[in-house]
Amino acid sequence: MTTVPVFLGERSYDVRIEAGLMERAGEALAPFASSRPFLVVTDTHVATAQWPRLAAALERAGLSAELVTLPAGESTKSWQHLEALTDRMIAHGIERRDHVIALGGGVIGDLVGFAASIVKRGCNFVQIPTTLLSQVDSSVGGKTAINSRAGKNLLGAFHQPSLVLIDPDTLDTLGPREVRAGYAEVVKYGLIDDAEFFAWCEANGTALMAGDPEARAHAIARSVAAKATIVAEDERETSGRRALLNLGHTFGHALEAETGFSDRLLHGEGVAAGMALAFGYSVRRGECPPEDAERVVAHLRAVGLPASLADAGVSASGARLVEHMLHDKKMSSGTLPFLLARGIGKTYLAKDVDLADVAAYLDGA
């Protein structure tokens, strides 16, 4: 087992990573048990693919649980489902020391974490992420949220889990598209500040997505360690360090908004195209070597991820995409910071970006 600690003082917790860990989840969860059964929240897909494994593990440990199953998909991150879940938690008798279990991908983790942050002014939760994207990104760091009509993740809270259990074997039940979408977040860590890891991705990305267990374990552990370090330095994104984790997201969220936050463009696919656009725009500004941007595009396309507006199936004007960006939660005093790059592994936060210039760039992208 690989254990990555997230150091946050009294809110510190461990991320445990091991193939087959789901079968031993009962042992890990036993210290968090109370007089009530665990409330396990999942979606319709994961209920079939992973809940039987977790249920058996809990039973072996002498623990009981009740299952709450929500619809799969981004639309579940809504007021409607937040209200239904919090009502269920209250009816269950959840107390502030109790733990709710989020079993699923980023949607379930975000929703359950937000619900846990507000019920009884804050109860506890455990993340058991089952997608590559949630394992390497959203399950670690305590960002929880739902979407609003205006945009993605605009309603939420920072609320850290008590434990994260990652079993790479859960990826065996995912389709290739879901694995690819999660892989975009793996590549992100190399592009932020680890050129050596990006080179590893170029050499091993195809094997990872083909199911190579060593490649999967290495990518997950390295990604989690990178995020844990950044979160420990800047938990609430106040110093700017944690903002680096948003590489590709400002462009990507605009693409997701344009496609209706639907299966037309998965979050990771939007991030992939967004990272390519961020590197391309950095070249336009004269800050990034063109060959670095070309490497990013080439690798994303080599593994089947979108690396342009056309690849993402988006034909909207630059002005329309920038309009989506105006609802970005990072907007401050009318200015939107952008994550740009001076090269691979050299991402930085730019606060001098002219949105009209971004629109012009997107019109030609």
Are β-strands 143-148 and 151-158 bridged in parallel, bridged antiparallel, or unpaired? antiparallel
- Residue 249 is a catalytic residue: yes
The residue annotated as part of the active site, out of 45, 77, 178, 185, is 185
- Residue 120 is a catalytic residue: no
DSSP-based three-state secondary structure for 175: coil
In whole angstroms, what is the distance from residue 362 CA to residue 22 CA?
Answer: 44
- Residue 324 is a catalytic residue: no
Structure tokens that stand for 170 in this block:
């859960």
The residue annotated as part of the active site, out of 159, 188, 253, 324, is 253
Strand partners for 5: 14
- Residue 242 is a catalytic residue: yes
The residue annotated as part of the active site, out of 16, 45, 77, 267, is 267
- Residue 23 is a catalytic residue: no
The residue annotated as part of the active site, out of 188, 249, 295, 324, is 249
The residue annotated as part of the active site, out of 88, 227, 295, 324, is 227
Strand partners for 41: 68, 102
Single-letter code of the amino acid located at 215: A
What residues have CB less than 8 Å from 55, skipping those under 6 apart?
65, 67
How many residues in the chain? Answer: 365
The residue annotated as part of the active site, out of 53, 88, 99, 143, is 143
- Residue 253 is a catalytic residue: yes
The residue annotated as part of the active site, out of 237, 256, 258, 269, is 237
Structure tokens that stand for 242 in this block:
């944690």
- Residue 188 is a catalytic residue: no
- Residue 227 is a catalytic residue: yes
- Sort 3 into a burial class: Cβ within 10 Å, 0-12 / 13-18 / 19+: exposed
Contact predicate 65/25, CB 8 Å: no
Q: Got the DSSP string for 60-123?
A: HTT--EEEEEE--SGGGSSHHHHHHHHHHHHHHT--TT-EEEEEESHHHHHHHHHHHHHGGG--
The residue annotated as part of the active site, out of 16, 53, 242, 299, is 242
The residue annotated as part of the active site, out of 246, 256, 295, 324, is 246
- Residue 327 is a catalytic residue: no
- Residue 99 is a catalytic residue: no
Catalytic machinery residues: 121, 143, 185, 227, 237, 242, 246, 249, 253, 267
